[in-house]
């Protein structure tokens, strides 16, 4: 092969490597605006068997219910740039109205999160002034009736939003409490449950809420 051709191939290879390197550096340093919404499955807090529902009345905040469930929704900034004015909408599904939602919890100092209710639709809106990268806000909700998880959504210009069905915390519903009781009283089950992620999340959730309860006293 002639020297001119060899030199041309080396020059072409060097140019391609330079272009690829520039593309990689640009891609790794550019700001990515991305939110991820994590929604856990609902967990039963109470359930009245069908044969006795007509004879049993349970009140939750003054309203009669025969089924009550709890769930969580988390909004996480999974990008590389801060995102301002995040509006999280939580809309109930038919047959599963939202009974209430908790004050948002964060993994950072509070920045003035606020919650409002649309009484006509029964939907909630959580306003978050801004989220830095890796910031997370968790909202805990309770639904009655069919125990279906509400619809979580947000839409911000220039922000990529992804919805994932994923356990945020293993909330202490009636079945979780029962499993935890088995884990703490039976050695074999205790060893098994400590190897399972949901149980460790449950223990962490309960510990955090016990700390909060003690602070409120």
pLDDT tens-digit profile, the chain (217 residues):
566 565 555 566 666 676 565 555 555 557 889 999 999 888 888 877 788 878 888 888 888 888 888 899 999 999 999 999 999 999 999 989 999 998 888 888 766 778 888 888 889 999 999 899 999 998 989 999 888 899 999 989 889 999 988 777 655 565 556 666 666 666 665 566 666 666 666 666 666 666 555 655 5
User: In 2-159, which residue ranges form alpha helices assigned H by DSSP?
Assistant: 3-29
Distance of CA 30 to the CA centre of its chain: 26
The reported pLDDT for the residue numbered 181 is 62
By the 8 A CB rule, do 136 and 71 touch? no
By the 8 A CB rule, do 140 and 102 touch? yes
User: In the chain, which residue ranges form alpha helices assigned H by DSSP?
Assistant: 3-29, 174-185, 187-194, 197-216
The reported pLDDT for the residue numbered 98 is 92
The reported pLDDT for the residue numbered 10 is 55
DSSP string spanning 135-151? -EEEEEEEEESS-PPPE
- Among 181, 182, 77, 75, residue whose Cα is nearest residue 133: 77
Residue 85 region by backbone torsions, left for phi larger than 0, else alpha for psi between -120 and 50, else beta: left
The reported pLDDT for the residue numbered 78 is 92
What is the pTM assigned to this prediction?
0.67
How far is Cα 145 from Cα 139, in angstroms, rounded to an integer?
Answer: 20
The reported pLDDT for the residue numbered 196 is 61
By the 8 A CB rule, do 41 and 198 touch? no
Residue 41's CB is within 10 A of a number of other CB atoms, namely 13
How far is Cα 162 from Cα 106, in angstroms, rounded to an integer?
Answer: 19
């Amino acid at each position: 092969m002639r020297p001119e051709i060899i030199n041309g191939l080396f020059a072409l290879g060097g140019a391609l490597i330079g272009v690829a390197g520039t593309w990689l550096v640009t891609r790794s340093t550019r700001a990515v605006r991305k939110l991820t919404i994590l929604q856990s499955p609902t967990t039963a807090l109470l359930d009245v068997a069908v044969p006795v529902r007509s004879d049993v009345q349970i009140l939750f905040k003054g309203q009669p219910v025969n089924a009550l469930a709890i769930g969580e929704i988390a909004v996480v900034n999974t990008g590389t740039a801060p995102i301002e004015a995040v509006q999280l909408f939580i809309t109930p599904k038919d047959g599963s109205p939202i009974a209430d939602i908790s004050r948002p919890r964060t993994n950072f100092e509070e920045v003035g999160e606020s919650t409002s209710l649309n009484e006509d639709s029964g939907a909630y809106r959580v306003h978050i002034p801004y989220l830095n990268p890796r910031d997370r806000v968790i909202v805990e909700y309770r639904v009655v009736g069919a125990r279906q998880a509400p619809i979580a959504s947000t839409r911000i210009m220039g922000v990529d939003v992804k919805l994932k069905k994923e356990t945020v915390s293993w909330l202490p519903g009636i079945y979780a409490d029962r499993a935890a009781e088995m884990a703490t009283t039976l050695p074999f089950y205790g060893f098994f449950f400590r190897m399972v992620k949901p149980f460790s999340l449950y223990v962490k959730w309960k510990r955090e809420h016990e700390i909060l309860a003690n602070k409120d006293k």
